[in-house]
Structure 1
Amino acid sequence: MEGHRNSVTGQARIEGVALQAGDIQGGVHIHSHAPALLPVPQQLPPAPAHLLGRAAELSALDAELSAPPPPGGRCLVLTGPPGIGKSALAGSWLRTRARDFPDGVLYADLRGHAPGGPADPGEVLGAFLRALAMPAVPADLHEAAALWRSVTAGRRFAVLLDSAATAAQVRPLLPGAAHSVTVVTGRTRLTGLGIDVARFFEVGLIDRAAATELLARRVGADRVAAESPAADQVVARCAGLPLALCVAGARMAARPRQPLAATAEALSRESDRLDALRLDGERAVHAALAASYRGLEPAAARLYRLLGLLPVPEFTPALAGAAAELPLAAADLLLDALGDEHLLEQPADGRYRFHDLVRLHARECGTEGEPPEQRRAAARRVAEHLLATATATERLISPSRRPLARDYDQPPWHVPEFDGEESALRWLDAERGQLAAALRAAVADGRPALVWQLADAMWPLFLRLRAAELQVEAHESGLAAARADGVRAAEQRMLTSGGHGLRNAGRPVEAARWYGEALELARAMADPRAEANAQYGIGQSHRLAGELASARRAFEETLRLREQVGHPRGVALARIALGEVALAAADLPAALAQLDQAERELTELGDHYEAARALALTGQAHLAAGRLPQAGRTLDAALAAFRTARSTLWEARTLHLLGELAERDGDPARARQHLGTALALYRTLAAPDAEAVARRLAELPTG
């Protein structure tokens, strides 16, 4: 080995098992299954090609990055009026410093002035943690923030928090790592971040020379030089506000044969009309928007008006097509046209949104230009598009779930055909903000049927993507709506599914109360299947609380009811639950009897995921009985099934059991391998089991 050396330098990152050796002789076999690596996040939205008039601000930000960092990392706050270019400045600066952040750049629009209210910090943390390969996020905001700080500790991250409302909204999102940088933009000064050692930067208007250059880059230097007086008037009437200049420039660029004087005159006319607005900059933006709006083709102008009336924060071609009753291709072209006019931003491919001021203008145009019945119809079509698409994901991901009614005023627009669970889950993840906004708008508009139907259709989002807080909110609203609507089946579903959400959110006492109400209602409705579901929820609550006798009684009643109504999958799931209770009570023969039968029944039904759960628990029972060979064979089969199903939690649990088995079999090296991989998986899920596995690993002999 003399003369051989292994080294790792720079910002290298190693995941899973690594072997460094100078010389290797003989066979080396390493078996490991680590979580798939996601790409390093680079989430900044597109930045302007040229950032003009900001040399002083860029220099000040560079100086901050050169200074020694405070212990909790840097927090740089850019404040200024709307349309001043805070987001463009922040994004452009972070792009120039990308090499300083090898672990990635994360972005969130905090929607400080959006119509649906500011973004919830818990939702933003969830998106950040999922971007870092953490599919499960604690429901409690403080726990999620603590996990966020743990995950980012020691890394070199940048985070852009755009359009913040308050310091309280921002504070849980600060990474806290010494070499991290968080840039916050907002209209208000956010002085409360001073206690977090934030540095504040006021972003002002750009000067006349920069404004003229910006206009020349938009419309061409030759045109500006040839019509210098008109160009000067446009610059003056845009008041040094970059957004106004961009909108006016886009209008002129789209009309190469129209004199610049026509835009200058339009800006003057609109400024006179909008004198009631307080800020010169805001008046300039409104004037530029009004001029651009008047130049739109009728179909684009109508879409602009309708989008301004919608409660959702982002638009896809499908959603826009539903709003305006347009084919997908036509909606896509019109969104592109509005983007070309700087009336829409495009933060990601196929997704569009308004700047806050543009949304206000579009809403004014919609209120003035669309009759009330057309406004209501557009919002209804969008809500029904979301409802129908979420229902399609429900049919695909939870096919055995008993469907409830869906009320559509007309056939829903643009419901996609998903090619599998993965594409359905991607849609749910991308549209969770739109679904939440539609549900809240339905509550505000007094549409109870739509409220509970949306809450019901979002079940796969709650079941698979674990959005516990949104699940509780949706079902609290859905329960009130179902009762107001007088639909008892919906009320019972809201109680049962809502109990599931409360249990996942760490509120077991409330969950038990909801399940109890669900049981009473099911009995009053003489609905044994609903009664069985309520009993199942009660049983799970008792099992988690360690009340095994009560849990067993509830699961036995679940089994009886499901056999009575002929629900074979439900029967098998009740057997799994009874097997878990018997395992916890150390009644191994009873556990094996229930689990063996459940595994056979689920395999016959083609439910391989639940059959694998029964197998894993069977392996646990064999392990507890000291039957190590049987335990190994059963757990290996379960592990393969969970990897095929991409079930991270149960993969980790099975590896945990295999680690225990290896330790009892006198193989500490194999135990360390299994437990190490289980620990990595548990940590991606923020699972409480991680602590116990970490302790066991520390106790294992190293030799």
Structure 2
Amino acid sequence: MQVPSSDQLVAALSTMGVRGSASESSARHGLEQIVVAAALVDPAVRRLYASLDRTAQTAVAADWRELAEALVRLARQDTATRTALRDWLVLHAPPPLPPAAAPPSDGTSNAIGGNSVLHGPSVQARDIHGGLHFHSTAAAARTTMPIPRQLPPVPARFLDRESDRQALDTLRARRSPHAPQVLVVSGPPGVGKTTFATQWLVEREGLFPDGQLYADLGGPDAAGEAGPASPATVLEAFLIALGAPAVPVGVAQRSALWRSMTAKLRLVVLLDSAFTAAQVRPLLLTAPTGLTMVTSRSHLTGLQVDGAAVHRLDGLPAESAVELLAVGGGTRVSEEPAAAREVVRLCGRLPLAVALASAQLAVRPHRSVSALADSLSRGRGVLDALRVDGVAVMRTALDLSYELLPESSARLYRRMGLLPTDRHDLAMLTAIATSEERESEGDDAADLAVHALVEANLLVETAPSTYRFHDLVQPHARRLGEKSDEPHEREQTMRRFVGWCLSTAASAELLLTPSHRLAGHDAGIGHVPPAPLRSPEAALEWLDTHRKALIGAVRHCAKAGWHNSCWRLTDLMWPLFLRLRPTEMWIEAHRLGRAAAQADGSGPGLSRMLTSGAIGLRNAGCYDEAADWYRQALELATADGDVRQQSQAFNGLGHINLLAERLDEARTHFEQALRLRESIGYHRGAALSRRRLGETALASGDLDAAVSHLQDSANELAALDEGYEAARAHALLGRALKRRGDFDAAVRRLQDALNHFRSGSGRSEHWEARCLEWLGQVAQSGGDLVDAARLYGAARDILRRLSPEDAERLDERRGPGGWGAPPGGPGGGGRRPPRGRAGASP
């Protein structure tokens, strides 16, 4: 089809906007061309549309709808074209008009008109009258959570790739409407796979309104070693991003929950730098409404066998690569076209290599392009065995870029390469400077040094004052750090880095869990100034975003034999483990910390590693090993006369027995913990032990004892200003009162708890669903089946997303007679004993 020019399009749209509806014939011969051209000149179309009056805009909208119907009819024999047209029309339809003033009416009416798009349940009819209600689905419940937007930022300057974009569009259009879609973008390192995939997805974000998830599967891990990233770890992050407060143990269980939560979502997932098909499979979306895009240096043949479509990304077209070189080279590039083409050839037309060459021209304005080409042709080695046309382009380019750096930037570059993290922020980079450097160069020295690295395209700024290496650059920086700096210099860099992690983690601990601080911790955290943390929210965000740096520091301390720092840092990371629940990291850190505390000869340190680590093991479902750690902690605390740690061990053993439904053993251990905590005046701990005794009594059917324990616990926790823990006690108390027949009192307790779990500070969807279910049981027992159905339905909508197993259990209560059927299970539909992370709490 011949596509008209911008001027022809604007003229045609102007005519259409004033003449009214277009016929199908017009759609065939005129408007069809306009639709195709609008994708190329969309800004002009939007400006013209905005300039029209309301009458003309209404006519345009009417024409657009008629055009859409005509085009779909024209494409009825071509599934790929029809699918592409539908996707395109969603993105490029004229914006909806503002609602006109509604005429006065004596009654309630509903009208759907204009250029409306409805997602979810809808009704189609000529007229709609009376009250109209749409009941939310599980997907609609997600609207209460922030929609994830995790795609990496795209560069301001993105050259060409038009043919590659069209190729992906074609692959997407060929998909089956009933099958999940997986697109693989493969290519050599430095070809720009991530940038291209991100750009393509950002341009089509309107097709995926439920969010964008991103994971780097092949980037350096927290120890600075190459991946691959664990699918279990990635699934844990994805599930948390979608709002799951409880993540099951194991890849299979997490993958099953992932499929359940995304079954009807219009979601896009970008899996970056994948190593193998096996690494990717547990992370794939299985719904036809979503899209999984994978980038990899290999073709991932295994995924192709499964139905994935693959597009290989090659270097930039020569003209585009020369244009990129001219960004830094200016007129020198046009003055030496042959030399410019040679530089581009030597760079393999890889965007990263060309950008580095461009940066060299920018920082040396008097250097000719010919001289640069001559330098690049004399390669001095390889970087990660990357060769283009037999020439080791990347290391040559990186070495040349490094040699042009100011001394302060070169020094920082080498130090950054040594750090076991993939995220560098200004506070961290300032901390690894020596005190002499800060005194002589000023407090903003790190900022200036980083600026030169960014300008040389050796670092990428991912957020304000936050940077990362390209995956080809970090090995180069690490090699230079290991080769160029003396051993004592490397050790001092890592000492300062670990000291910064210790001091900032200590600040976070004081803000989030001040009662957890171990006596003497302040003497062991060094003298490196911490990152500024001004609120508990900022402290939790710092722990979350620096988790790889923290576990990397723990690993380095274990490897270097810095035993005291190893177990102290693990202990200071307690708020991270408590609030964010990274199970695998929790267990790994405490295994290393346990060995370090033993080597350090620290009884208190070993005791803390055992009790805190046992919680991580318990949350992972490793009950036997967790119990063994608790017993070791109990023996150690008894030998040291540490009553508080003895009570912690008894309480932990009690919780494991409660989870395993060994109620007599659980009660005995909780009673021992309560006596010890009361003997030393540990009031918060005593209140928590009473709540556990209440849970145990409730599980055994001793309702009077349960009410007494839970009432005392709730009152004591409220007096201690422990709002969240008090709300949990109130919820359990309401459940106990219901089972005892005190319906009015039960409703008051459960409603108070529900209000707390819906508030900002005490937000917990997991406990919100539990309160709704228990309120439904109260209503059902009282004969109010309408209210019971409403409450059960609300609980089920939340559980479908958070815990499909519990949602299925709740569905089973309905039966053929609806929600009015008698509750199943002991005590009127009691909740199954929690397993693993879902029911675990310190």
TM superposition score normalised by structure 1: 0.90
Matches within 5 A, 1:58-73: 58-69=165-176, 72-73=179-180
> Which residue pairs with 2:240 in the alignment?
130
> Which residue pairs with 1:608 in the alignment?
723
Shift of 1:113: 5.7
Amino acid at match of 1:226: E
> Which residue pairs with 2:606 in the alignment?
491
1:287 aligns with 2:409: no
Matches within 5 A, 1:296-315: 296-315=405-424
- After superposition, the C-alpha distances for 1:652-688 in whole angstroms (9 at most, x for unaligned) are 2222221211222222232233333333444454375
Count of matched residue positions in the alignment of Structure 1 and Structure 2: 694
Moved more, 34-43 or 454-463: 34-43
Shift of 1:574: 1.0
Q: Which runs of 5+ in 1 are unaligned?
A: none
Matches within 5 A, 1:220-369: 220=330, 222-269=331-378, 271-272=379-380, 279-280=387-388, 283-325=392-434, 329-369=444-484
Matches within 5 A, 1:439-458: 439-458=554-573
Change (3 A) 1:272 1:630: closer
Q: 2:286 aligns with which of 169, 172, 176?
A: 176
CA distance in 2, matches of 1:565, 1:244: 66
> Which residue pairs with 1:679 in the alignment?
796
Whether the aligned pair in 1 keeps the contact of 2:510 and 2:517 (CA below 8 Å) is no
- After superposition, the C-alpha distances for 1:128-157 in whole angstroms (9 at most, x for unaligned) are 223223343223221111111122223332
Moved more, 443-452 or 679-688: 679-688
Shift of 1:247: 0.8
Whether the aligned pair in 2 keeps the contact of 1:381 and 1:412 (CA below 8 Å) is yes
1:573 aligns with 2:700: no
The structure showing larger relative contact order (alpha-carbon pairs under 8 Å, at least 6 residues apart) is: 1
TM superposition score normalised by structure 2: 0.76
Shift of 1:376: 1.5
Change (3 A) 1:120 1:495: same
Shift of 1:331: 2.9
Shift of 1:88: 2.3
> Which residue pairs with 1:526 in the alignment?
641
Shift of 1:91: 2.0
Q: 1:385 aligns with which of 481, 486, 500?
A: 500
Change (3 A) 1:488 1:545: same
> Which residue pairs with 1:646 in the alignment?
763
Whether the aligned pair in 1 keeps the contact of 2:277 and 2:301 (CA below 8 Å) is yes
CA distance in 1, matches of 2:805, 2:209: 30
Question: 3-state SS of the aligned residue for 1:551?
Answer: helix
Shift of 1:334: 3.2
> Which residue pairs with 1:108 in the alignment?
215
Whether the aligned pair in 1 keeps the contact of 2:260 and 2:801 (CA below 8 Å) is no
Q: 1:661 aligns with which of 754, 778, 781?
A: 778
CA distance in 1, matches of 2:667, 2:577: 26
Amino acid at match of 1:399: P
> Which residue pairs with 1:81 in the alignment?
188
Moved more, 248-257 or 426-435: 248-257
Aligned-pair identity in percent equals 43
Moved more, 122-131 or 168-177: 122-131
Amino acid at match of 2:189: P
CA distance in 2, matches of 1:702, 1:537: 38
Whether the aligned pair in 1 keeps the contact of 2:428 and 2:531 (CA below 8 Å) is no
Matches within 5 A, 1:485-564: 485-564=600-679
- After superposition, the C-alpha distances for 1:352-401 in whole angstroms (9 at most, x for unaligned) are 11112211221222223322212112122222222222222222222222
1:142 aligns with 2:257: no
Question: 3-state SS of the aligned residue for 1:280?
Answer: coil
Whether the aligned pair in 2 keeps the contact of 1:322 and 1:378 (CA below 8 Å) is no
RMSD: 3.2
Shift of 1:642: 3.0
Shift of 1:697: 5.4
Shift of 1:534: 0.4
CA distance in 1, matches of 2:417, 2:263: 41
Change (3 A) 1:681 1:400: farther
CA distance in 2, matches of 1:700, 1:512: 44
Matches within 5 A, 1:354-433: 354-403=469-518, 405-406=520-521, 408=524, 410-420=526-536, 422-433=537-548
Amino acid at match of 1:394: E
Change (3 A) 1:59 1:641: closer
> Which residue pairs with 1:693 in the alignment?
810
Whether the aligned pair in 1 keeps the contact of 2:184 and 2:311 (CA below 8 Å) is yes
- After superposition, the C-alpha distances for 1:328-348 in whole angstroms (9 at most, x for unaligned) are 754344333322221012334
Whether the aligned pair in 1 keeps the contact of 2:766 and 2:802 (CA below 8 Å) is yes
Shift of 1:507: 1.8
Change (3 A) 1:14 1:128: farther
CA distance in 2, matches of 1:655, 1:276: 56
Change (3 A) 1:408 1:566: closer
- After superposition, the C-alpha distances for 1:157-182 in whole angstroms (9 at most, x for unaligned) are 22221111222221111112223322
CA distance in 1, matches of 2:590, 2:804: 25
Whether the aligned pair in 2 keeps the contact of 1:138 and 1:686 (CA below 8 Å) is no
Shift of 1:245: 0.4
> Which residue pairs with 1:197 in the alignment?
307
> Which residue pairs with 1:469 in the alignment?
584
Whether the aligned pair in 2 keeps the contact of 1:116 and 1:312 (CA below 8 Å) is no
Whether the aligned pair in 2 keeps the contact of 1:404 and 1:490 (CA below 8 Å) is no
Question: 3-state SS of the aligned residue for 1:69?
Answer: coil
Whether the aligned pair in 1 keeps the contact of 2:503 and 2:530 (CA below 8 Å) is no
Question: 3-state SS of the aligned residue for 2:546?
Answer: helix
CA distance in 2, matches of 1:425, 1:328: 26
Moved more, 663-672 or 229-238: 229-238
Amino acid at match of 1:284: V
1:206 aligns with 2:313: no
CA distance in 1, matches of 2:817, 2:328: 66
Whether the aligned pair in 2 keeps the contact of 1:155 and 1:177 (CA below 8 Å) is yes
Change (3 A) 1:231 1:498: same
- After superposition, the C-alpha distances for 1:183-208 in whole angstroms (9 at most, x for unaligned) are 22222333332342223333333343
Change (3 A) 1:113 1:489: closer
Amino acid at match of 2:620: A
Change (3 A) 1:311 1:510: same
Question: 3-state SS of the aligned residue for 1:356?
Answer: coil
CA distance in 2, matches of 1:536, 1:687: 30
Whether the aligned pair in 2 keeps the contact of 1:45 and 1:348 (CA below 8 Å) is no
Change (3 A) 1:688 1:525: farther
Question: 3-state SS of the aligned residue for 2:689?
Answer: helix
Amino acid at match of 2:793: G
CA distance in 2, matches of 1:702, 1:601: 37
Shift of 1:240: 2.2
Whether the aligned pair in 1 keeps the contact of 2:380 and 2:395 (CA below 8 Å) is no
CA distance in 1, matches of 2:771, 2:819: 23
1:57 aligns with 2:164: yes
Whether the aligned pair in 2 keeps the contact of 1:145 and 1:173 (CA below 8 Å) is yes
CA distance in 1, matches of 2:220, 2:535: 37
CA distance in 2, matches of 1:141, 1:296: 45
- After superposition, the C-alpha distances for 1:41-100 in whole angstroms (9 at most, x for unaligned) are 332222344554644433332221110338652222233321122222222222333333
